[in-house]
Structures are given as structure tokens and as C-alpha cells.
Structure 1
Amino acid sequence: MGSGVGRASFGDTNVVAFPKGTAAQVTFDRQELQRILDLYGRMVAAGQWRDYAMNFDEDAASFSAYRRASERPQARIEKRPALRGRQGMWILFGEAGQVLRRGHELAGVLFPLERQLLKVVEG
């Protein structure tokens, strides 16, 4: 007979325990994703980014933007709801993995990336 892990036998009836539910994934809501993808589109148009990846797990959701598909991400935007009450749930990481910005609002965290798109217009 097998080890019977998660099973119990009562006469002719076998009882199998349900697997434990998995923790809910952290995701971006529609407005957050729209804001991030809008920035991504503008960075692609400017020639800064060419590819992206998204990762969702129980602790964080992240959006990584790449210049080329074969290298480390140039920028990574991470949402960590557990940090909502402390430094803010939004974190912007640079290419070397350093924290560039933390905040409670996505717009403030994206500002350093959006600043790269600003061009000085002389009149």
C-alpha cells in the first residue's frame, strides 16, 4: 500500500483531502496597467525600450522593460501591497537593480522615466 498522504480510508469509502488554496496573486488593476503600458509605448517610440515582461506572484507584481530581449531589464516597476503602509507599495528599480524611487502613487514613481522623454524646446 502507498503512504496514503492526504487520504483516509473508511471501509469501502476513500476520502481525499482538497488541496490547500493558493494565495491570491498580486496584479495590476486596469488603470495601473494602462498607465504603465502608455509609458512603455512612448519609450518604444523614443527608441529606449523594445521588449517587456510581467511577473505576478503572491507578494508582488512586476513590469520589466528591456532595451534588448537578451539583457537585464533597463527598468522594473514593482507593486508590493505589503509595503502600502510604510514606504509605499510602488518601487522603481534601475538597470543594476538599485531602487530609484519608492512611493504611494504610481505617477510619482514613474516620473524619473517620464522625465527621460521630455525634450527642451527653445523658442
Structure 2
Amino acid sequence: MNECDTEASERSGERTSAIPLAVSPAPPARPIVAFDRRELDQILRLYGRMVADGEWRDYAIDLLKDKAVFSVFRRSSEMPLYRIEKDPKLARRQGAYSVIASGGMILKRGHELASVLKVLDKKKHLRLVDA
């Protein structure tokens, strides 16, 4: 339709309707897996104590599509000493939280972050007893 046809149809009372383009529905939004404020507070308290003791020097937080990972390093150029992971898919079974050593061995897994983090505090206490 050109301008003349549009004006003629408007004068005669005819209405033209625009045909909408087909729009594909947006993919469902995935919630981001992340540590909340309470969890980060617990992790960073432990991190601060270990930095003060000279054991840890750097950290990294990775927010992956299915889990959140807090990695602890002795030096930033090395592999992480420990990884503290939050995986909501495992929340009903073994627990959403786990502490994993540098070799990939799971040191502790559970439903409560505070109880899972105790495994790293025990390592500190064992070193003090051995010394």
C-alpha cells in the first residue's frame, strides 16, 4: 500500500491492521548461583585468619552456571590449595557445600557451610600440635 491507498482507506472508514512479526519467546532466565552475604562472611572470616597466619595469600570467586566456587591460593600463580564450592543440585543429597583439596579430593561435604569449613580450621590446629 502506498500513501494514496492509505489516505483513501482512512477516508472511506476502512482500517488497515499491521501484522506483527513472529517473535521467538525469550529463553527462561536461569538464576545465578552465588554465595550470599552470610556465606561470604563465614568464608572471608576463615580467609582472614589464614592470611594473618601466613598460610593463604590470594583468592578467587567463580560464578559458574551450575555452582559457585571460592578458590584459595598460597600464591596467585599456583593451583588453588582449596576450593569451597556451593552446588545447589546436591543440596538434598550430600549437601550443597563442599571443600575440595588441590588434588581433587573432597575433604568435607555437608548441608551447613559452617560445619564444612571446620575441616580447614582443623588443618590449622593439627599443624600447631605437630610443631
Do both share a fold (TM > 0.5)?
yes
Point out where structure 1 has 5 or more consecutive residues left out of the alignment.
1-10
What is the CA RMSD across the aligned residues, in angstroms?
2.0
* Correspondence 1:75 to 2:82: yes
* Correspondence 1:66 to 2:73: yes
Point out where structure 2 has 5 or more consecutive residues left out of the alignment.
1-17
For the 8 Å contact 1:50–1:67, the answer to whether it is kept is yes
Equivalent residue number for residue 50 of structure 2: 43
Equivalent residue number for residue 3 of structure 1: none
In the alignment of these two chains, the number of paired residues is: 111
Larger-Rg structure: 2
For the 8 Å contact 1:46–1:117, the answer to whether it is kept is no
Runs of 4+ in 1 over 4 A off after TM superposition: 11-16
TM-score normalised to structure 2 length: 0.75
TM-score normalised to structure 1 length: 0.79
Which has a greater percent of strand?
1
Structural mapping, 1:7-26, within 5 Å: 14-17=21-24, 19-26=26-33
Which has a greater percent of helix?
2
Q: Percent identity?
A: 47
Partner Cα separation in structure 2 for residue 58 and residue 23 of structure 1: 8
